[in-house]
Amino acid sequence: MAGQVIAAVPMVLSVILWFVVLLSVCSVAYWTYLMVVVGRGYQSPPPEYGPSAVQVRILTVASAAIVQESVDAIPDSITDRHVIAEEPMDIAGATVHVVPETFECEAIRKGRALEWARRNVPCEREYVLYLDEDSIMTDFEGIPDADVVQFRERPRRSGSWLTYLAEIFRMGFQVEQRAFPSLSVPLYAWGGGIAIRNDLEERITWETPTMIEDTTFVWNAAAAGGVDFELAEAKFDTQAPPTVRAMVSQRSRWLAGSQQESGLLAPAYRLLTTVRNLAWALSPAVPFLTLVPLFVPGTIAFETVFQVVSVLVFSFVLVWSVLGVRYYDESWLVGAVLVVLSPIVSLLHSFGAFVGLVSPPTDFSVTRKVKPELVERTEREAEGD
Protein backbone atom coordinates (compact mmCIF):
# COMPACT_ATOMS: atom_id res chain seq x y z
CA MET A 1 0.00 0.00 0.00
CA ALA A 2 2.78 2.40 0.93
CA GLY A 3 4.53 1.56 -2.32
CA GLN A 4 1.44 2.48 -4.32
CA VAL A 5 1.20 5.84 -2.55
CA ILE A 6 4.85 6.61 -3.24
CA ALA A 7 4.46 5.57 -6.86
CA ALA A 8 1.49 7.95 -7.23
CA VAL A 9 3.41 11.00 -5.95
CA PRO A 10 5.02 11.92 -9.31
CA MET A 11 1.66 11.70 -11.06
CA VAL A 12 -0.06 13.92 -8.47
CA LEU A 13 2.83 16.40 -8.58
CA SER A 14 2.67 16.45 -12.37
CA VAL A 15 -1.06 17.19 -12.33
CA ILE A 16 -0.63 20.03 -9.83
CA LEU A 17 2.23 21.64 -11.73
CA TRP A 18 0.43 21.40 -15.07
CA PHE A 19 -2.72 22.85 -13.45
CA VAL A 20 -0.83 25.92 -12.24
CA VAL A 21 0.90 26.46 -15.56
CA LEU A 22 -2.26 26.02 -17.62
CA LEU A 23 -4.11 28.50 -15.42
CA SER A 24 -1.39 31.02 -16.21
CA VAL A 25 -1.57 30.14 -19.89
CA CYS A 26 -5.31 30.87 -19.94
CA SER A 27 -4.83 34.19 -18.15
CA VAL A 28 -1.97 35.28 -20.40
CA ALA A 29 -3.86 34.19 -23.52
CA TYR A 30 -6.92 36.24 -22.55
CA TRP A 31 -4.77 39.28 -21.70
CA THR A 32 -3.13 38.97 -25.12
CA TYR A 33 -6.55 38.67 -26.77
CA LEU A 34 -7.71 41.85 -25.04
CA MET A 35 -4.60 43.72 -26.11
CA VAL A 36 -4.23 42.47 -29.67
CA VAL A 37 -7.83 41.94 -30.76
CA VAL A 38 -10.33 43.74 -28.55
CA GLY A 39 -8.46 46.86 -27.48
CA ARG A 40 -6.23 47.29 -30.49
CA GLY A 41 -6.29 50.84 -31.76
CA TYR A 42 -8.53 52.11 -28.96
CA GLN A 43 -8.52 55.88 -28.69
CA SER A 44 -10.03 57.66 -25.72
CA PRO A 45 -13.01 59.70 -26.92
CA PRO A 46 -12.74 63.49 -26.71
CA PRO A 47 -14.33 65.28 -23.75
CA GLU A 48 -17.97 66.22 -24.23
CA TYR A 49 -18.61 67.68 -20.77
CA GLY A 50 -16.55 70.50 -19.32
CA PRO A 51 -15.76 71.43 -15.70
CA SER A 52 -19.17 73.03 -15.16
CA ALA A 53 -20.76 69.57 -15.52
CA VAL A 54 -18.63 68.00 -12.77
CA GLN A 55 -18.95 67.71 -9.01
CA VAL A 56 -15.83 66.38 -7.27
CA ARG A 57 -16.08 64.25 -4.14
CA ILE A 58 -12.91 63.24 -2.28
CA LEU A 59 -13.19 60.33 0.16
CA THR A 60 -11.00 60.28 3.26
CA VAL A 61 -10.91 59.14 6.86
CA ALA A 62 -8.91 61.89 8.54
CA SER A 63 -5.91 62.81 6.35
CA ALA A 64 -6.33 66.59 6.15
CA ALA A 65 -2.83 67.42 4.86
CA ILE A 66 -3.06 64.88 2.04
CA VAL A 67 -6.61 65.90 1.13
CA GLN A 68 -5.56 69.54 0.96
CA GLU A 69 -2.93 68.70 -1.63
CA SER A 70 -5.55 66.87 -3.70
CA VAL A 71 -8.01 69.78 -3.43
CA ASP A 72 -5.30 72.25 -4.47
CA ALA A 73 -4.70 70.16 -7.61
CA ILE A 74 -8.33 70.37 -8.75
CA PRO A 75 -8.60 72.77 -11.71
CA ASP A 76 -9.96 76.18 -10.72
CA SER A 77 -12.71 75.76 -13.32
CA ILE A 78 -14.27 72.99 -11.20
CA THR A 79 -16.00 74.87 -8.40
CA ASP A 80 -18.32 72.17 -6.99
CA ARG A 81 -15.93 70.43 -4.57
CA HIS A 82 -16.72 68.25 -1.59
CA VAL A 83 -14.72 66.22 0.91
CA ILE A 84 -16.46 63.24 2.51
CA ALA A 85 -14.66 62.50 5.76
CA GLU A 86 -15.04 60.39 8.89
CA GLU A 87 -13.77 63.15 11.16
CA PRO A 88 -14.03 66.99 11.07
CA MET A 89 -11.24 68.84 9.27
CA ASP A 90 -10.52 72.24 7.78
CA ILE A 91 -9.92 72.16 4.04
CA ALA A 92 -9.48 75.32 1.99
CA GLY A 93 -11.31 75.31 -1.33
CA ALA A 94 -13.84 72.55 -0.62
CA THR A 95 -16.89 71.85 1.52
CA VAL A 96 -16.23 69.19 4.15
CA HIS A 97 -18.99 66.74 5.11
CA VAL A 98 -18.58 64.35 8.04
CA VAL A 99 -20.37 61.03 7.84
CA PRO A 100 -22.37 60.68 11.09
CA GLU A 101 -21.50 57.71 13.28
CA THR A 102 -25.23 57.00 13.54
CA PHE A 103 -25.65 56.54 9.77
CA GLU A 104 -26.54 52.96 8.89
CA CYS A 105 -26.85 51.20 5.54
CA GLU A 106 -25.92 47.90 3.95
CA ALA A 107 -22.64 49.23 2.55
CA ILE A 108 -19.48 49.07 4.67
CA ARG A 109 -16.37 51.21 5.14
CA LYS A 110 -15.75 53.39 2.08
CA GLY A 111 -19.00 52.22 0.49
CA ARG A 112 -20.88 53.48 3.54
CA ALA A 113 -19.38 56.95 3.08
CA LEU A 114 -20.21 56.87 -0.63
CA GLU A 115 -23.81 55.95 0.10
CA TRP A 116 -24.16 58.67 2.73
CA ALA A 117 -22.84 61.24 0.25
CA ARG A 118 -25.21 60.03 -2.44
CA ARG A 119 -28.15 60.59 -0.10
CA ASN A 120 -27.03 63.80 1.57
CA VAL A 121 -24.78 65.84 -0.75
CA PRO A 122 -26.96 67.57 -3.37
CA CYS A 123 -25.70 67.30 -6.94
CA GLU A 124 -27.07 69.19 -9.92
CA ARG A 125 -24.17 68.34 -12.20
CA GLU A 126 -24.11 65.71 -14.92
CA TYR A 127 -21.24 63.78 -13.32
CA VAL A 128 -19.87 62.98 -9.90
CA LEU A 129 -16.09 62.60 -10.12
CA TYR A 130 -14.80 60.48 -7.25
CA LEU A 131 -11.23 60.83 -6.05
CA ASP A 132 -9.24 59.15 -3.30
CA GLU A 133 -7.65 61.36 -0.69
CA ASP A 134 -4.29 61.16 -2.50
CA SER A 135 -5.58 61.52 -6.09
CA ILE A 136 -3.87 64.41 -7.89
CA MET A 137 -5.77 65.53 -10.98
CA THR A 138 -3.44 66.08 -13.94
CA ASP A 139 -4.15 66.68 -17.61
CA PHE A 140 -7.89 67.04 -16.94
CA GLU A 141 -9.71 68.50 -19.94
CA GLY A 142 -13.23 67.21 -19.41
CA ILE A 143 -15.29 64.04 -19.42
CA PRO A 144 -16.28 61.91 -22.45
CA ASP A 145 -19.95 61.12 -22.97
CA ALA A 146 -20.41 57.81 -21.13
CA ASP A 147 -22.20 56.49 -18.05
CA VAL A 148 -18.90 55.63 -16.36
CA VAL A 149 -15.56 57.17 -17.27
CA GLN A 150 -12.43 55.64 -15.82
CA PHE A 151 -9.39 57.88 -15.49
CA ARG A 152 -5.99 56.24 -15.56
CA GLU A 153 -3.76 56.08 -12.50
CA ARG A 154 -0.07 56.73 -12.00
CA PRO A 155 1.09 55.79 -8.49
CA ARG A 156 4.03 57.82 -7.17
CA ARG A 157 6.71 56.47 -4.86
CA SER A 158 5.81 57.23 -1.26
CA GLY A 159 8.20 55.00 0.65
CA SER A 160 9.39 51.60 -0.54
CA TRP A 161 11.17 51.30 -3.89
CA LEU A 162 9.91 47.72 -4.20
CA THR A 163 6.25 48.75 -3.94
CA TYR A 164 6.85 51.51 -6.48
CA LEU A 165 8.36 49.01 -8.91
CA ALA A 166 5.41 46.70 -8.25
CA GLU A 167 3.04 49.53 -9.18
CA ILE A 168 4.93 50.14 -12.43
CA PHE A 169 4.64 46.41 -13.12
CA ARG A 170 0.90 46.51 -12.34
CA MET A 171 0.36 49.46 -14.68
CA GLY A 172 2.05 47.46 -17.44
CA PHE A 173 -0.52 44.70 -16.98
CA GLN A 174 -3.40 47.17 -16.68
CA VAL A 175 -2.90 48.62 -20.13
CA GLU A 176 -5.52 45.96 -20.90
CA GLN A 177 -8.08 48.52 -19.68
CA ARG A 178 -8.19 49.97 -23.18
CA ALA A 179 -10.24 46.89 -24.12
CA PHE A 180 -12.82 47.36 -21.34
CA PRO A 181 -15.06 49.79 -23.28
CA SER A 182 -15.66 46.99 -25.79
CA LEU A 183 -16.65 44.45 -23.12
CA SER A 184 -20.17 44.08 -21.80
CA VAL A 185 -18.71 44.17 -18.27
CA PRO A 186 -15.48 46.01 -17.37
CA LEU A 187 -13.31 43.55 -15.46
CA TYR A 188 -12.52 46.02 -12.66
CA ALA A 189 -12.60 49.71 -11.83
CA TRP A 190 -10.48 52.17 -9.85
CA GLY A 191 -12.38 54.45 -7.50
CA GLY A 192 -9.54 56.95 -7.11
CA GLY A 193 -10.44 58.56 -10.41
CA ILE A 194 -13.85 57.61 -11.75
CA ALA A 195 -16.65 59.79 -13.10
CA ILE A 196 -20.18 58.45 -12.78
CA ARG A 197 -23.24 59.95 -14.39
CA ASN A 198 -25.37 61.36 -11.59
CA ASP A 199 -28.61 59.64 -12.58
CA LEU A 200 -26.81 56.27 -12.85
CA GLU A 201 -25.50 56.61 -9.30
CA GLU A 202 -28.99 57.41 -8.06
CA ARG A 203 -30.34 54.32 -9.80
CA ILE A 204 -27.64 51.83 -8.79
CA THR A 205 -26.62 53.25 -5.36
CA TRP A 206 -23.71 51.96 -3.24
CA GLU A 207 -25.90 49.70 -1.11
CA THR A 208 -23.74 46.59 -1.25
CA PRO A 209 -21.56 45.25 1.61
CA THR A 210 -18.34 44.86 -0.38
CA MET A 211 -14.61 45.48 -0.04
CA ILE A 212 -14.26 46.58 -3.68
CA GLU A 213 -17.02 49.17 -3.91
CA ASP A 214 -15.80 50.72 -7.18
CA THR A 215 -15.71 47.47 -9.14
CA THR A 216 -18.92 46.24 -7.50
CA PHE A 217 -20.76 49.41 -8.55
CA VAL A 218 -19.74 48.90 -12.18
CA TRP A 219 -20.73 45.22 -12.05
CA ASN A 220 -24.09 46.11 -10.50
CA ALA A 221 -24.66 48.71 -13.21
CA ALA A 222 -23.87 46.15 -15.90
CA ALA A 223 -26.23 43.61 -14.30
CA ALA A 224 -28.99 46.22 -14.15
CA GLY A 225 -29.08 46.66 -17.89
CA GLY A 226 -25.68 47.56 -19.22
CA VAL A 227 -23.21 50.37 -18.65
CA ASP A 228 -21.60 52.68 -21.19
CA PHE A 229 -17.93 52.66 -20.13
CA GLU A 230 -15.00 54.68 -21.48
CA LEU A 231 -11.35 55.07 -20.54
CA ALA A 232 -10.16 58.68 -20.35
CA GLU A 233 -6.75 59.76 -21.58
CA ALA A 234 -5.76 61.72 -18.45
CA LYS A 235 -3.70 60.07 -15.72
CA PHE A 236 -4.23 60.98 -12.06
CA ASP A 237 -1.27 60.67 -9.71
CA THR A 238 -1.69 58.64 -6.53
CA GLN A 239 0.61 57.21 -3.89
CA ALA A 240 2.04 53.72 -4.11
CA PRO A 241 1.68 51.71 -0.88
CA PRO A 242 4.42 52.93 1.48
CA THR A 243 5.41 49.41 2.61
CA VAL A 244 5.37 45.88 1.25
CA ARG A 245 3.05 44.88 4.09
CA ALA A 246 0.55 47.57 3.07
CA MET A 247 0.73 46.40 -0.54
CA VAL A 248 0.11 42.78 0.46
CA SER A 249 -2.95 43.85 2.45
CA GLN A 250 -4.22 45.90 -0.48
CA ARG A 251 -3.82 43.09 -3.03
CA SER A 252 -5.39 40.61 -0.61
CA ARG A 253 -8.51 42.78 -0.39
CA TRP A 254 -8.69 43.19 -4.16
CA LEU A 255 -8.60 39.46 -4.89
CA ALA A 256 -10.88 38.42 -2.03
CA GLY A 257 -13.41 41.13 -2.90
CA SER A 258 -13.35 40.19 -6.57
CA GLN A 259 -14.07 36.54 -5.78
CA GLN A 260 -16.79 37.38 -3.30
CA GLU A 261 -18.59 39.65 -5.75
CA SER A 262 -18.12 37.48 -8.85
CA GLY A 263 -21.66 36.17 -8.35
CA LEU A 264 -22.86 39.45 -9.86
CA LEU A 265 -21.38 38.38 -13.19
CA ALA A 266 -22.77 36.17 -15.90
CA PRO A 267 -21.41 32.57 -15.75
CA ALA A 268 -18.80 33.12 -18.48
CA TYR A 269 -17.43 36.26 -16.83
CA ARG A 270 -17.56 34.59 -13.42
CA LEU A 271 -15.41 31.73 -14.71
CA LEU A 272 -13.05 34.18 -16.40
CA THR A 273 -12.66 36.21 -13.22
CA THR A 274 -11.98 33.08 -11.17
CA VAL A 275 -9.35 31.82 -13.61
CA ARG A 276 -7.61 35.20 -13.67
CA ASN A 277 -7.67 35.46 -9.88
CA LEU A 278 -6.29 31.95 -9.42
CA ALA A 279 -3.59 32.59 -12.01
CA TRP A 280 -2.65 35.85 -10.27
CA ALA A 281 -2.51 34.23 -6.83
CA LEU A 282 -0.47 31.25 -8.01
CA SER A 283 1.76 33.12 -10.47
CA PRO A 284 4.70 33.45 -8.02
CA ALA A 285 5.21 29.70 -8.42
CA VAL A 286 5.71 29.88 -12.21
CA PRO A 287 9.41 30.91 -12.20
CA PHE A 288 10.22 28.02 -9.86
CA LEU A 289 8.20 25.52 -11.86
CA THR A 290 10.63 25.86 -14.73
CA LEU A 291 13.35 24.48 -12.43
CA VAL A 292 11.48 21.38 -11.28
CA PRO A 293 12.40 19.20 -14.29
CA LEU A 294 16.06 20.18 -13.82
CA PHE A 295 16.26 19.16 -10.17
CA VAL A 296 13.66 16.36 -10.15
CA PRO A 297 13.74 14.85 -13.65
CA GLY A 298 11.03 12.43 -14.63
CA THR A 299 8.35 13.79 -12.30
CA ILE A 300 6.37 15.79 -14.86
CA ALA A 301 4.53 14.43 -17.87
CA PHE A 302 5.63 15.94 -21.18
CA GLU A 303 8.63 17.46 -19.44
CA THR A 304 10.07 19.36 -22.41
CA VAL A 305 6.73 20.88 -23.33
CA PHE A 306 6.23 21.86 -19.69
CA GLN A 307 9.55 23.70 -19.62
CA VAL A 308 8.82 25.57 -22.85
CA VAL A 309 5.34 26.61 -21.71
CA SER A 310 6.62 27.68 -18.29
CA VAL A 311 9.33 29.86 -19.80
CA LEU A 312 6.83 31.38 -22.23
CA VAL A 313 4.44 32.26 -19.41
CA PHE A 314 7.25 33.72 -17.33
CA SER A 315 8.39 35.88 -20.25
CA PHE A 316 5.21 37.93 -19.84
CA VAL A 317 6.57 39.18 -16.53
CA LEU A 318 9.19 40.97 -18.61
CA VAL A 319 6.55 42.16 -21.10
CA TRP A 320 4.47 43.77 -18.34
CA SER A 321 7.58 45.33 -16.81
CA VAL A 322 8.55 46.96 -20.11
CA LEU A 323 4.98 48.14 -20.76
CA GLY A 324 4.85 49.63 -17.27
CA VAL A 325 8.06 51.58 -17.83
CA ARG A 326 6.66 52.91 -21.12
CA TYR A 327 3.38 53.84 -19.44
CA TYR A 328 5.28 55.85 -16.83
CA ASP A 329 7.84 57.18 -19.28
CA GLU A 330 10.37 56.26 -16.59
CA SER A 331 14.15 56.53 -16.92
CA TRP A 332 16.14 53.74 -18.51
CA LEU A 333 17.84 53.12 -15.17
CA VAL A 334 14.54 52.45 -13.35
CA GLY A 335 13.45 50.30 -16.28
CA ALA A 336 16.65 48.25 -16.14
CA VAL A 337 16.27 47.75 -12.38
CA LEU A 338 12.66 46.62 -12.82
CA VAL A 339 13.56 44.14 -15.55
CA VAL A 340 16.39 42.67 -13.47
CA LEU A 341 14.20 42.47 -10.36
CA SER A 342 11.03 41.47 -12.21
CA PRO A 343 10.86 37.95 -10.67
CA ILE A 344 10.98 39.43 -7.16
CA VAL A 345 8.66 42.31 -8.01
CA SER A 346 6.17 39.94 -9.62
CA LEU A 347 6.29 37.68 -6.57
CA LEU A 348 5.62 40.58 -4.17
CA HIS A 349 2.81 41.91 -6.37
CA SER A 350 1.12 38.51 -6.38
CA PHE A 351 1.78 37.44 -2.81
CA GLY A 352 -1.09 39.56 -1.50
CA ALA A 353 -3.41 37.87 -3.99
CA PHE A 354 -2.25 34.49 -2.68
CA VAL A 355 -3.00 35.60 0.88
CA GLY A 356 -6.45 36.78 -0.24
CA LEU A 357 -7.06 33.38 -1.83
CA VAL A 358 -6.04 31.17 1.09
CA SER A 359 -7.19 33.49 3.89
CA PRO A 360 -9.77 35.98 2.57
CA PRO A 361 -10.01 39.07 4.79
CA THR A 362 -13.40 39.89 6.25
CA ASP A 363 -12.43 43.53 6.80
CA PHE A 364 -9.61 45.79 5.70
CA SER A 365 -7.53 48.69 6.91
CA VAL A 366 -7.12 51.83 4.85
CA THR A 367 -3.70 52.05 3.18
CA ARG A 368 -1.73 54.67 5.07
CA LYS A 369 -0.77 57.65 2.94
CA VAL A 370 2.38 59.72 3.35
CA LYS A 371 2.30 63.45 3.99
CA PRO A 372 2.93 65.57 0.86
CA GLU A 373 6.27 66.94 2.08
CA LEU A 374 7.58 63.40 2.58
CA VAL A 375 6.56 62.41 -0.95
CA GLU A 376 8.38 65.44 -2.32
CA ARG A 377 11.45 64.53 -0.27
CA THR A 378 11.58 60.97 -1.65
CA GLU A 379 11.20 62.31 -5.18
CA ARG A 380 14.11 64.72 -4.65
CA GLU A 381 16.21 61.93 -3.23
CA ALA A 382 15.40 59.78 -6.28
CA GLU A 383 16.60 62.59 -8.55
CA GLY A 384 19.80 62.91 -6.55
CA ASP A 385 19.10 66.39 -5.13
CA–CA distance, 89 with 98 (Å, rounded to integer): 9
Could you tell me if residue 316 is inside a domain?
A: yes
- Give, in order, the Cα–Cα distances in Å from 307 to each of 66, 226, 289, 292: 48, 43, 8, 9
Closest CA to 301 of 21, 4, 6: 21
CB 341 within 8 A of CB 169: no
pLDDT computed for residue 295 by the predictor? 65
pLDDT in tens, 297-337: 666 767 788 888 888 888 999 999 999 999 999 999 999 99
Residue 327: how many CB atoms within 10 A of its CB?
17
The mean pLDDT of the chain is 89
- Per-residue pLDDT, averaged over 247-265, amounts to 94
Which string of b and e fits 340-356 if b means at least 16 CB within 10 Å?
A: ebbeebbbbbbbbbbbb
Could you tell me if residue 5 is inside a domain?
A: no
CA–CA distance, 147 with 196 (Å, rounded to integer): 6
Quick check: 377 pLDDT over 50? no
Range of the domain at 203: 10-380
| % of the chain exceeding 70 in pLDDT | 87
Could you tell me if residue 1 is inside a domain?
A: no
Could you tell me if residue 385 is inside a domain?
A: no
Could you tell me if residue 2 is inside a domain?
A: no
pLDDT in tens, 29-68: 999 999 999 999 899 999 999 999 999 999 999 889 999 9
| % of the chain exceeding 90 in pLDDT | 74
In the chain the first and final C-alpha atoms are separated, in Å, by 69
pLDDT computed for residue 227 by the predictor? 87
pLDDT in tens, 10-20: 567 777 778 88
CB 27 within 8 A of CB 275: yes
CA–CA distance, 8 with 291 (Å, rounded to integer): 21
Could you tell me if residue 3 is inside a domain?
A: no
- Give, in order, the Cα–Cα distances in Å from 202 to each of 51, 56, 240, 318, 380: 21, 16, 32, 43, 44
Task: Tell me if residue 49 falls in helix, strand or coil.
Answer: strand
Q: For residue 384, how many C-alpha atoms fall within 13 Å in the half-sphere facing its CB?
A: 0
Count of domains for the chain: 1
pLDDT computed for residue 305 by the predictor? 84
Angle value at C-alpha 175, between 140 and 191, nearest 5 degrees = 55
CA–CA distance, 377 with 371 (Å, rounded to integer): 10
**Confidence class for position 290, pLDDT limits 50, 70, 90:** low
Could you tell me if residue 373 is inside a domain?
A: yes
